[in-house]
Chains A and B, each alone.
Chain A
């Protein structure tokens, strides 16, 4: 099974592709390659905006300050005496951000394009290893591997991670949302496209879990929902513990 067959098979949810991948000894490596390529392509486009920003920093500082102050004035309802002071903080804060962005690289003003290129390459290469890509694949893979055991699943960790990596394949189309964002037009279409890609990825994920664990789609969904429930529960419990500890410390310091 070559890479193109694997990638297209993942996008089209082709059952045979998932089964063939599951039986390979290098299942995790092959699955990861799909995620890697999808993330690098998406990163190539999503990093353009930041690189352009570095190459030619914004020049319209006064305009940005005026806009921020106008926004503040339209929404401010506090005491009038405080308004001038807050406006000074806003204008100094924005001016600070602009001035730092406009500082030249140590290598000189002429090095800006090189800096932009180095930043761009760094951003693109780091994309597959961001939490939204490999981080989520590992966390969800580990969690759903555990909950799948409760439902009688028998996949190895490598099979679960390898197959669930295929869910990154539809994310390759996020290059379109990046391009739309770059042109600054059609933000509604961009959001809709983002939603479609997310649903598509979720469908591939469910299919991957079902094939990896030898489950029906319903059972795979059950394992995922239980896993998400556990994750949500852990987040809530941790949040409550942190809130209680912080409140306790503040209370005892005041007391």
Chain B
């Protein structure tokens, strides 16, 4: 083999891409509709972690691509952001509360409104209204798959913590292989491509929970009751941590607000 041959990269053929897309779709449908064979297949791969990583990365890139295209579509089909901003401001300024203020208060209000619009305008507009927002949107091609992968590994580690005793033969990577398929409902977010479409996050979360229970049951070949406990354990841990953080935050906030209140 000479040097030029060694460096040559063969482009995948159309048939190879089509076959890969077909395999992906079959696996996705199997995952969504709780087919035991799909979850067993993902668990029993030679390299379950690697295969699962690719599966989640593809999902993430598809979701992010739809998000970017959706933002473009919203940009074209929704009214100009500045026109919306000015229409809202014009009516706010015609309201009695604004007219009752002096000029300096009116100026502060207008400046505050402009600042808020700059920071939160993209939430109302549905597309980035600042350069930072645009960069964040493009970066979602990387951050969306990364977020899915981190969630998958952390969730999986917490599940394995309680579930490994149920079946010692199931390794962490085998469980992750099956659990990766439970990320499948996230792909429904591609419907967010349409400006008024979009899928309820609650529905996606519920579907993912059902898939997680099923994946844990298949991965550890255990009972549904244990699988439910395994699937809820990470949620319970995160909830406890969040509640503790909120309680600690409030405990710190209340004395501060009292001090500020006392000083005034």
- CB-CB under 8 A from B78, the residues of chain A are 105-106
Docked-complex contact A99 and B87, CB < 8 angstroms: yes
Docked-complex contact A253 and B254, CB < 8 angstroms: yes
Docked-complex contact A123 and B91, CB < 8 angstroms: no
Check B148 for interface membership: any CB of A closer than 8 A. no
A103 and B96 alpha carbons, distance in the complex (Å): 24
Check B123 for interface membership: any CB of A closer than 8 A. no
A131 and B258 alpha carbons, distance in the complex (Å): 42
Docked-complex contact B194 and A158, CB < 8 angstroms: no
- CB-CB under 8 A from A95, the residues of chain B are 91
Docked-complex contact B191 and A125, CB < 8 angstroms: yes
- CB-CB under 8 A from A88, the residues of chain B are 94-96
Nearest Cβ on chain B to A15's Cβ, whole angstroms: 24
Nearest Cβ on chain A to B97's Cβ, whole angstroms: 9
Interface residues contributed by chain B, number (CB under 8 Å): 47
Nearest Cβ on chain A to B28's Cβ, whole angstroms: 12
Check B158 for interface membership: any CB of A closer than 8 A. no
Bits for B23-41, please: 1 = Cβ < 8 Å to A, else 0: 0000001000111000000
Q: Which of B46-54, B108-116, B132-140, B196-204 contacts A (4 or more CB under 8 A)?
A: B196-204
Bits for A119-133, please: 1 = Cβ < 8 Å to B, else 0: 101110110011100
Docked-complex contact B79 and A142, CB < 8 angstroms: no
Q: Which of A22-30, A213-221, A226-234 contacts B (4 or more CB under 8 A)?
A: A22-30
Q: Which of B199, B214, B224, B257 contacts A253 (CB 8 A)?
A: B257
Q: Which of A28, A99, A249 contacts B33 (CB 8 A)?
A: A28
Docked-complex contact A105 and B34, CB < 8 angstroms: no
A170 and B28 alpha carbons, distance in the complex (Å): 28
Q: Which of B75, B195, B209 contacts A142 (CB 8 A)?
A: B209
Nearest Cβ on chain A to B99's Cβ, whole angstroms: 9
Q: Which of A1-9, A68-76, A110-118, A172-180 contacts B (4 or more CB under 8 A)?
A: A110-118
A147 and B159 alpha carbons, distance in the complex (Å): 24
Docked-complex contact B191 and A126, CB < 8 angstroms: yes
Residue of B whose beta carbon sits closest to that of A25: B35
If over half of A's interface residues share one DSSP class (helix, strand or loop), that class is named, otherwise mixed; here it is helix
Q: Which of A28, A103, A129, A161 contacts B203 (CB 8 A)?
A: A129
Check A149 for interface membership: any CB of B closer than 8 A. yes
Bits for B112-131, please: 1 = Cβ < 8 Å to A, else 0: 00000000000000000000
Docked-complex contact A131 and B91, CB < 8 angstroms: no
Check A135 for interface membership: any CB of B closer than 8 A. yes
Residue of B whose beta carbon sits closest to that of A115: B77
- CB-CB under 8 A from A255, the residues of chain B are 258
Check B76 for interface membership: any CB of A closer than 8 A. yes
Residues 79-102 (chain B) with a chain A CB within 8 angstroms = 79-80, 83-84, 87-88, 90-92, 94-96
Known: A125-B197, A149-B225, A253-B254. A100 touches B87 (CB 8 A): yes
Residues 195-235 (chain B) with a chain A CB within 8 angstroms = 195-200, 202-203, 206-207, 209-210, 213-214, 224-225, 228
Check B188 for interface membership: any CB of A closer than 8 A. yes
- CB-CB under 8 A from B83, the residues of chain A are 103
Docked-complex contact B34 and A28, CB < 8 angstroms: yes
Docked-complex contact B207 and A118, CB < 8 angstroms: no
Nearest Cβ on chain B to A5's Cβ, whole angstroms: 20
Docked-complex contact A126 and B95, CB < 8 angstroms: no
Q: Which of B29, B33, B77, B202 contacts A106 (CB 8 A)?
A: B77
Check B242 for interface membership: any CB of A closer than 8 A. no
Docked-complex contact B206 and A26, CB < 8 angstroms: no
Docked-complex contact B88 and A96, CB < 8 angstroms: yes
- Could you give 7 example pairs across A and B, Cβ below 8 Å? A95-B91, A100-B79, A100-B88, A103-B80, A123-B194, A139-B206, A158-B34
11 additional A-B residue pairs with CB within 8 Å, beyond A92-B95, A105-B77: A92-B92, A99-B87, A106-B80, A107-B77, A126-B191, A129-B203, A138-B210, A157-B34, A158-B34, A161-B34, A249-B254
Interface residues, chain A, CB within 8 Å of chain B? Answer: 25-26, 28-29, 32, 50, 85, 88-89, 92-93, 95-96, 99-100, 103-107, 111, 114-115, 118-119, 121-123, 125-126, 129-131, 134-135, 138-139, 141-142, 145-146, 149, 156-158, 161, 249, 252-253, 255
List 8 tightest A-B contacts by C-beta distance, closest first.
A122-B194, A122-B197, A103-B79, A96-B91, A29-B33, A158-B34, A129-B199, A135-B203
